[in-house]
Structure 1
Amino acid sequence: MNMVSESIVKDMTLAHNGHLKIDWVKEHMPVLNRIRERFEKEQPFAGLKVAISLHLEAKTAYLAKVVQAGGAEVTITGSNPLSTQDDVCAALVEDGIRVFAKYNPDPAEYKEHLIKTLETRPDLIIDDGGDLVTILHSERRDLLAQVRGGAEETTTGILRLKALEKEGKLEFPMVAVNDAFCKYLFDNRYGTGQSVWDGINRTTNLVVAGKTVVVVGYGWCGKGVAMRAKGLGAKVIVTEIDAIKAVEAYMDGFEVMPMSEAAKHGDYFVTVTGNRDVIRKEHFEVMKDGAILSNAGHFDVEVNKVELDALSTSRRIVRKDIEEFVMADGRKVYLLAEGRLVNLAAGDGHPAEIMDMTFALQAVSLAYVNEQYKAIGKQVLNVPYELDAMVAQYKLEALGIGIDKLTDEQKSYLDSWVE
């Protein structure tokens, strides 16, 4: 197959730089390297087609190469218009992976890339945000028959999957990778926590210390964003709809209040909810002059851009990835990266060492679904604990860290109700 002619990428002359990026992350992903060695021997995907929709940058590219090493014919597309890196796309094509992705496509092109990826008739999928699953279950049901199952990366995607499952409409098994311990404890908390502030800081070039940061949502991603904001010297306010998470945020040392009040105080706002319109008209109307808005959820709907635009008398790009909205009273509100994922649209995403564990989970979960899809049935399932623990153990070994093991007597004690 001629992957150059079959692919849609911006510029194949960018491939050299893309290879350098992929080589760099490979050196910092020892767990995924170990999975790759296993896949090369076992060939779990021999003769199968795999379709991937993820943020298409170097770490994702290396995951695609690991799946390819397991015998798969791989096709990949982006899961966010502003997170695709064109040089990485070109490098993947040179490595024999079909790519349908460009940086900042218009909505029609973005949709076309997703559909073309599915038109390769995959046996297995890896999804981010549920775009592939949604298309398969709606307008392109003709492509469903061959799909054995797949794995989902995000909270947003899992919400979509569970809605399908609840209605009895899910047509194949999907592993909820986002809900695995090695995903939410490390990727969501430490990965999001660091990469969000990487994106905000490199984009704005402004100080965080002494400022007030409003974190909208206190799930695992919100915990990471708040923790890192505190570490940078900010005062942190958390808004929540869940009473338990609100108490947790309070006991973690953060102020907790409704968004209607928090909107008056924030210098930086970071949305991390997976829901829409969590910052909207009534909030824009009371924000301080110079407030900076960003999103670290999945889709660009958490900040209501339509209402922000309607309230403004003018808007302009004032710096790369920063749009200025001037309100009728002269206040200026700034939106980063079009309200898309600030850590990827305005940064390089999570650190390689973090994505090492997440993408290792994706790879082994995909292999698990391929082995067990008939027995699993049409449901959303958690990553089996033994796979989660295996990835953690590989990580410890890569770090040169050993841990204790239970003695036979201790195992017996834990398994008994008798003292």
Structure 2
Amino acid sequence: MVDANRTFVIVGGGLAGAKAAETLRAEGFTGRVILIGDERDHPYERPPLSKGYLSGKQERDGVFVHETPWYAGADIELHLGQTVTSLDRHARSVQLGDNTVVHYDKLLLATGAEPRRLDIPGTGLAGVHHLRRLAHADRLRGVLAALGRDNGHLVIAGGGWIGLEVAAAARGYGAEVTVVEPSATPLHHVIGPELGQIFTDLHTAHGVRFHFGARLTEITGQDGLVLAARTDTGEEHPAHDVLAAIGAAPRTALAEAAGLEMAGREHGGGVAVDLSLRTSDPHIYAAGDIASLEHPLFGTRLRVEHWANALNSGPAAARAMLGQDVTYDRVPYFFSDQYDLGLEYSGWAPPGSYDQVVIRGDAGKREFIAFWLKDRRVLAGMNVNVWDVTDSIQQLIRSRRETDPEALSDPSVPLESLL
């Protein structure tokens, strides 16, 4: 029997929100749990959108966090296809797009992120795409299959994780692919130039063409269809479709309008939270892509957009909402699959934060672990086609101890011995 005297509201129908709702029930919360999402689909996981589902290796039903009947069985009240238009902190209520007002005792904001848009002429053409939502993946999957059948061309703006994963999926269908990237290598802002060339070589070997040091300036078309993409270096690339993969921005408008404390741009923006994921309002928490916390391991405020953060921060916030003692200090983690290359990355080491990169294994064969070090301390590690080492890598990061780079690079030295 649900106790109507206590109501916890979750705004955001993604993985973080769904796992928070699941955790509330698992931890014994008997009050009302209201989950509000602006998509009509039930909560789903996003990695398949650029990996298994997009490539045709995974069925659509496999992306959902829970089977549909689970929500009713767990007494989760769903409001799907609904936008929250305002948050009244004093009244402890949110107003929906249909003017329904929902009151809360505790509120979790898990509104996620949205793809950044290309601010150039031609983005209104029918063949210009983004990839963030399941509906985007539904459409893009059909587009890639058609491009493959017709020997069509896809131009991708951005050589980050989404751009490269879509490139791999597109080549799997047989489409021609050109990636336009402003930096000198793909993934420059995540793994730096030392490792970027490995991904250049990987994709080039599979037929992807790169145009580095350039940005798109215009998408040209006729009768509403894409014909070509032009760059600021004067190149014109033939294209039937264009994917904008230039990053994502946290969806913080609701939190900002309510006057919650925000993180600075230098830290990636987002809603400022403490280590229990509580915002500047003691009745409001934030999780997933929008949450920015002062991470004790790295000594800076971090906002992490990856799957593992949504998976783990939603439950952590739910426990904190229940009054449990929560310290959310997980090592950032993500994974990627491209062709026959699989990888896991743990930590945080953007260019400028490290002074050495150590390779353990054979980078030429794409079977190795890369470590990013600062003052001989491991900040991050990426295992490529090497498995069952994530726990050891994360322990090295957490230990903060000085590590001998030679021993770190030697595969005959067990990682556990360096802890």
**Could you say which structure has the higher helix fraction?**
1
TM-score (ref. length: structure 2) = 0.36
TM-score (ref. length: structure 1) = 0.36
**Could you say which structure has the higher strand fraction?**
2
1 or 2 for the larger relative contact order (CA 8 Å, sep ≥6)?
1
